[in-house]
Amino acid sequence: MPRRIRTTVFLALALAPIAPLGGQTPAAPAEQGAQLQAAFEHLRQGNAVATIRECKAVLAANPRSAPAHMLLGQAYLAQGTIAVIAESKAELQQALDLDPDLLWARFYLARVYIDQGLYEKAKAQLERGLQQRPDVPHFLCLLGEVRRKLGDPAAALELSRKTLQIDPTMTPAHYYMALAYLDLKQEDAAIRELEGSIRSQYVSPEMYAELADLYRKRRRFAEAEDLCRKAIALDKTRPEAYLTLARLYNAQHASDKALQIVRQALPDGKEIPASEYYQKLQADLLVEQGAAYQAKGTAVQAIEAYTRALDLDPDRGAVHRQLAELYLKRGDSARAIEHATAAEKLGTPIEPALRAEIFK
């Protein structure tokens, strides 16, 4: 199964129209112009494979066709797989090298940078695009999310509000506002934005999954499960909804259901992209697997799952705390002390009674 591009890029795919060709580059020869128009129509209809075929035909005849490089980069991005992200970036950069005025090539390149966690580079591309053409809502909306990623949720809210003033139908702006509100610890406001966004015809799996997680925290379990199922129905490859479901089942002491969901999210042999985002998600899923095994009393499997989670993300104090308790029960005092010490160094307190048992 192809490895999928992370959440931010998938959501951003709902943001932008397919880049228009007119007025962005000098006129191409008639035959190439027809092929470019065909590529444009294929991409607009969601046929990335046909778009790639047409663009490569144009580039074989004219390697300096900036719009062909741009559309080819968009088509790679639309495939949604990690395997072609480098190709997408290279084509979009080539398009801009040939024609710096290609506005939408700059937008899509910014989205690639977001996927790679290069937020300063994404910010630079979006700000340059807004200098070229001020108040384009797609640029404002995505810039708001980049500012949030860079630690400024207040600026993100301001940019999202400006986006909605220009285009009230820009559903992703509500989603990004919700994320900013969450960063500001304003859960009620985040829920309102998400509840509004899922009523749109442009709802994405991420919107369902984020709202489901908030419902889970408020013990609105039935509603949360329904939203997770809707997210999975839209895209079975996305791990976020599976994670929320596993947490939901563990919260209800339904360990077997939690384990089943984790197996669906992480089947044997599934490749996980080597990115910080996906490693954190995999670690989160392994923590839920460990919690389910621990609740069932199967310590060996719980220790294995928790240990794999720490291999991916060693700075999880709560996981060290659970391992300390598990090793204590198995009579391995050395490892219990090791993990309890690590937990406390990471700021996770150990209950006084348990701590006394470990360090006696």
Name the architecture of domain 1-134: Alpha Horseshoe (1.25)
Q: Residue written as tokens 């992200």?
A: 85
- Report d(CA 155, CA 161) in Å as an integer: 10
**Domain ranges for the chain:** 1-134, 146-203, 204-313
Output the CA angle 307-310-315, nearest 5 degrees: 145
Structure tokens that stand for 224 in this block: 């949360």
On whether the CB atoms of residues 241 and 231 are closer than 8 A, the answer is yes
* Topology alike, domains 146-203 and 204-313: yes
Give the pLDDT score at 14: 45
Give the pLDDT score at 31: 63
Nearest to 115, CA basis, from 267, 5, 205, 231? 5
Give the pLDDT score at 27: 46
Give the pLDDT score at 257: 98
- Report d(CA 129, CA 34) in Å as an integer: 28
CATH number of 146-203, picked from 3.30.530.20, 3.40.50.880, 3.40.80.10, 1.25.40.10: 1.25.40.10
Give the pLDDT score at 1: 36
Instruction: Quickly list DSSP for 63-89.
Output: TT-HHHHHHHHHHHHHTTBGGGHHHHH
* CB-based burial label for 343 (10 Å; 0-12, 13-18, 19+): buried
Give the pLDDT means over successive 10-residue stretches in the chain (360 positions). 43 48 49 78 84 89 92 84 80 94 93 88 97 94 96 97 93 94 98 93 88 96 97 88 96 97 84 72 96 97 98 96 97 97 97 94
Instruction: Quickly list DSSP for 12-79.
Output: HHTTPPPPP-TTSSPPPPHHHHHHHHHHHHHHHTT-HHHHHHHHHHHHHH-TT-HHHHHHHHHHHHHT
pTM value? 0.81
> Which SS3 state, helix, strand or coil, does residue 317 take?
helix
H helices, E strands: number in the chain: 20, 0
CA dihedral over 286, 290, 292, 293, signed as positive or negative: positive
Nearest to 42, CA basis, from 62, 84, 72, 2? 72
Name the architecture of domain 204-313: Alpha Horseshoe (1.25)
Give the pLDDT score at 273: 62
